[in-house]
Structure 1
Amino acid sequence: AAVPPQRSLSASVPQGFPCIPASDLPAADILAFTQGLQNRTAELSSTQLSCLARLLAAKNLTGDFRRYPPDLLLFFDSAEVRGGTCGEFYARAARGNLDLLPRGSARRTGLLRGALACLQVRSSRLHPEQLRGLGALVCDMEPETITASDPGVLENLKLCPALTGAQQEALNAVLLRGGSVYGDPSSWDLQTLQHLGPLVLALNRTTLSLVAEATREAFGRSIVATYGSQGRSQREKSLTLLRAFAAPSASSHPRLKRSADRCLSAPITASTLSNPLLMIDYDTSEQFYLCLSNDVLKTNLELLLEQPLTVDYLQVVKKKLEQIYPLGIPEEQLKLLGPLSRQYSAEEISLWPVTSSKTLLALLNPADGKWGVAQIQQLLSRYLALGGTLTGPLLQRMGGRNLCNLQEGQIAQILPEAIRTAGQLNISSCSQTKKDQLYRKAQKAFAGQPGTARAYYCRIWPYLG
């Protein structure tokens, strides 16, 4: 695509810039753009952050790292970090979103290795001052290091988006030793459990069995009090907690012998579906299957899917829908699938009657979870094959990566009007041929639009290069 002779980075388009040679950009522009990110809520992708880090390095602008957001520091070359300021650098980088770097990737492991060397960690035992410097980088530590370290490691583990099973067991071992600020689990009260924060999700049955029943019940009531205002993902966590905290109590009482062929709880009805804590009564997917009738499901699908259903429970709903609709799910029901839609394979999606843009828009709702690459490609292909057109709102909901995964023939069907109303799209992952296609459409979309040359440039910027 044609490129203007003078390039500049506009801080008004942080979500859509492509990575271009540093020689094409003035150092002052790179610096101003990067520093402007500190005050913006827009998040950049790993590709964009990596690009910015390379641009800064090429202009020798990485020295004063304090001026840059922590997320960006994750992509700096740790070999270039100066010894005198390395502690401050890694402490700041550790405040970034580590999920931007795949767990186990060379860059992420290199970051941890550099931090350990900087803090002169010589053994598996981490001391308080080392833990303070490592921050969330402890999330990648081996279980043996967690158990060997100062109990303050628990505060670091609160920063982890997810812990492996082995790390969770190590966390429980630290708590069971009783040397942490939380004391012995037998002494915990409601306030202690609340102070544990996200760590309560990792408590195993052994630890929970030591917590007084009255304390567990009080904590359960505190969860229930806020449950109604929580989003779906938070409800799943709350439901997991409620079941976990109920389990030690239940184990001390005789249980009814489980039956493999009948519902042991009350059958699920339209009225009980309005209870946000309904799923506590169905502690296995088998019981959920036996207590949910096809008739109730068919007429209350949307209401049922508002419940925080985990994957095995969603599979039950999917199985029952196959029984109800042996010839395929009607389009009106497809709109209601929400998180259940992500449980269908690309082959199954290829049979969906996705003819309406409203249906596709509903299925692309990011709140319902991420699609797999093959799934989303099939979904979009199916919609287009059935005569659908990609509008601006659909392109915005799809995002640049999914747009780039379309075939060239499918991109050719997109109207310039859709590009104009799609907002900023990051097409950095597109092939050059597809970028050229989209650039030509963007030229038509933004030609003649009111505003200054700078405004035009900002609109068309994502499609350059």
Structure 2
Amino acid sequence: LYSLGALVCDLEPGAIPASHPNILEKLKLCPALTGAQQDALNALLLSGDTAYGNPSSWDLQTLQDLGPLVLALNQTTLSLVAEAAREDFRRSIAAAYTSQGRSQPEKSLLLLRALAAASAASQPRLQRSADRCQSEPITASNIEDIFFLSPEELDLCLSNDVLVENLEAVVNEPVTLEASRVLKKKVDEFYQGSGIPEEKLRQLGMLSRLYTEQEISKWQVTSSDTLSALLSDSGGQWSDSQVQQLISRYLALGGSLTGPLLQEIGSRHLCNLQEEQIQQIPAAAIGTAGELNISSCSQTKKDQLYRKAQEAFASLASNPGSYYSQIQPYLGGAPAEDLKNLANAGVAINMDLSTFLTLNPEEVQKLSVTDVKHLLGENLPELKQHEHEPLVVSWVQQQSQKELDCVLDIGLQGGRPEPTGTASPAATSTATVTTPASATSTATVTTPASATSTATVTSPVPTTP
């Protein structure tokens, strides 16, 4: 068994119950078990002949010790576990689901559904009614029980009033997508005609992601706190079009984008904003936003953000080192003139290659060999390591190879060659001699070295007696 290593994950199902009980510890390392392997695992656990004992004796600690194997437990095994142990385990999973920011929602929900099904199997409900709740209604004191309800039961057992009054607590519970749609429907029913008030928009959490762009366009998002709460990662992922509409609505209602809001928007969504929306970002917001990654932005948007950053950090311009550290994330929009100024500021800024490679290629072509040497400073040798990057290749091709060798001396190749010396340029010398009565004649002499010599001789012209 110990020599199998990872091969234990490929064992035939029939070999699992016949193996040493310690095989369970090996199976914990498997990324996934087949259905047949899971059945064999349950058969081994039901035998009680393992370190975990009979399922009827399991407590919270036992379920936690099973680790990833708990995902393979079937209804038969789970139904034998004491209800109190199942409930304690369910609560621990739900708490972790919320505190960890839904890091593994699929596995958590899968396990919670299995526990809910086991509880339902051990405690059969009364016959359902098509129009009324047949279990204990959901109130503020048992909000966590919503997970045990099917979407249909949730609709019947959770009143709109209780949902709205406890909205923040409800949306923090791990629920399925189907259940989330039921909750959204009930919120909309409660506020039909009046619209969701702003204080409740802040509490929508994951429900907010279910709203269409058309619905978002009607929200009253007037406060930066509201926008920040809606943009929070805790509610899940927004689509780019939803973020655009959310920000458009906020700006249309007189809102202003701040540095913290830009951080909430995030680099990906920032680059997907419309150019008109980026234009509305105050320069001061860039100054308080911290480092933003604009590498995925279009060149036009990089240019926009650079100009705003330039304005935001203008007070640091007299201190090149401090200025560079602040404006560095936005240099992808810098024109060649500004890059030359940085290069010749008299202070080594030592631009790293990752920043250099994000510069506007068209502007880089305007930089001289000396400009690049001064920009990169102590990082210049790394340019050789990136010589095959398209930006470096195109820049090198524009430079004199002799200058690359003499100024950089890092072995870059591919620059423009010097003119060949196979033929010397024609050199012309002219001699002119003048006599009193001049007549001019011109003679051209070509030397072996292709130098042309022209002599202009003025000879006396015979006069008629």
- TM-score w.r.t. structure 1 length? 0.58
After superposition, give the CA deviation of every residue in 1:272-312 in whole Å (9 maximum; x if it has no partner): 324453325x5212122112223333443334334333322
Distance of aligned partners of 1:225 and 1:205 in 2 relative to their CA distance in 1, 3 Å threshold: closer
Give yes or no for the alignment of 1:218 onto 2:85.
Answer: yes
Tell me the equivalent position of 2:149. Answer: 283
Question: How far apart are the structure 1 equivalents of 2:24 and 2:234?
Answer: 36
Give yes or no for the alignment of 1:258 onto 2:128.
Answer: yes
Give yes or no for the alignment of 1:396 onto 2:269.
Answer: no
47, 63, 67: which one aligns with 1:197: 67
300, 311, 319: which one aligns with 2:185: 319
Question: How far apart are the structure 1 equivalents of 2:223 and 2:297?
Answer: 26
- Within 5 A, what are the aligned runs for 1:90-101? none
- Within 5 A, what are the aligned runs for 1:127-142? 128-130=4-6
Question: How far apart are the structure 2 equivalents of 1:266 and 1:374?
Answer: 41
- Within 5 A, what are the aligned runs for 1:305-344? 305-327=171-193, 328-344=195-211
Q: CA deviation at 1:182?
A: 9.0
Q: Where does structure 2 lack aligned partners over 5 or more consecutive residues? A: 17-22, 332-358, 360-465
After superposition, give the CA deviation of every residue in 1:209-241 in whole Å (9 maximum; x if it has no partner): 5xx333x64353355478668527489777864
Identity of aligned residues (%): 51
153, 156, 168: which one aligns with 2:29: 156
Tell me the equivalent position of 2:161. Answer: 295
Which protein is richer in helix relative to its size?
1
Tell me the equivalent position of 1:373. Answer: 240
Question: How far apart are the structure 2 equivalents of 1:181 and 1:458?
Answer: 64
The answer (yes or no) to whether the contact 2:244–2:274 under 8 Å persists in 1 is no
Q: CA deviation at 1:336?
A: 1.8
224, 230, 234: which one aligns with 1:357: 224
SS in 1 for 2:218: coil
- Within 5 A, what are the aligned runs for 1:221-260? 221-224=88-91, 231=99, 233=102, 241=111, 244-245=114-115, 247-248=117-118, 250-252=120-122, 254-260=124-130
SS in 2 for 1:178: helix
The answer (yes or no) to whether the contact 2:267–2:294 under 8 Å persists in 1 is yes
Distance of aligned partners of 1:451 and 1:308 in 2 relative to their CA distance in 1, 3 Å threshold: farther
SS in 1 for 2:66: helix
Give yes or no for the alignment of 1:420 onto 2:287.
Answer: yes
Question: How far apart are the structure 1 equivalents of 2:142 and 2:204?
Answer: 20
SS in 1 for 2:238: coil
Distance of aligned partners of 1:202 and 1:359 in 2 relative to their CA distance in 1, 3 Å threshold: farther
Superposed CA RMSD = 3.9
Give yes or no for the alignment of 1:458 onto 2:325.
Answer: yes
Q: CA deviation at 1:430?
A: 0.4
SS in 2 for 1:399: helix
Q: CA deviation at 1:414?
A: 0.9
Between stretches 309-318 and 447-456, larger displacement belongs to 447-456
Question: How far apart are the structure 1 equivalents of 2:122 and 2:297?
Answer: 59
The answer (yes or no) to whether the contact 1:416–1:442 under 8 Å persists in 2 is yes
Q: CA deviation at 1:378?
A: 2.0
313, 318, 343: which one aligns with 1:446: 313
Give the letter aligned to residue 308 of structure 2. K
After superposition, give the CA deviation of every residue in 1:376-435 in whole Å (9 maximum; x if it has no partner): 222222222333221111001111111100111211111110001001111111011111
Question: How far apart are the structure 1 equivalents of 2:62 and 2:162?
Answer: 42
Tell me the equivalent position of 2:298. Answer: 431
Question: How far apart are the structure 2 equivalents of 1:235 and 1:431?
Answer: 33
Q: Higher relative contact order by CA 8 Å / sep ≥ 6: 1 or 2?
A: 1
The answer (yes or no) to whether the contact 2:75–2:114 under 8 Å persists in 1 is yes
- TM-score w.r.t. structure 2 length? 0.58
SS in 2 for 1:419: helix
Aligned length: 318
Question: How far apart are the structure 1 equivalents of 2:325 and 2:68?
Answer: 41
Question: How far apart are the structure 2 equivalents of 1:252 and 1:381?
Answer: 52
After superposition, give the CA deviation of every residue in 1:104-132 in whole Å (9 maximum; x if it has no partner): xxxxxxxxxxxxxxxxxxxxxx9744469
Q: CA deviation at 1:174?
A: 5.1
Q: CA deviation at 1:352?
A: 2.0
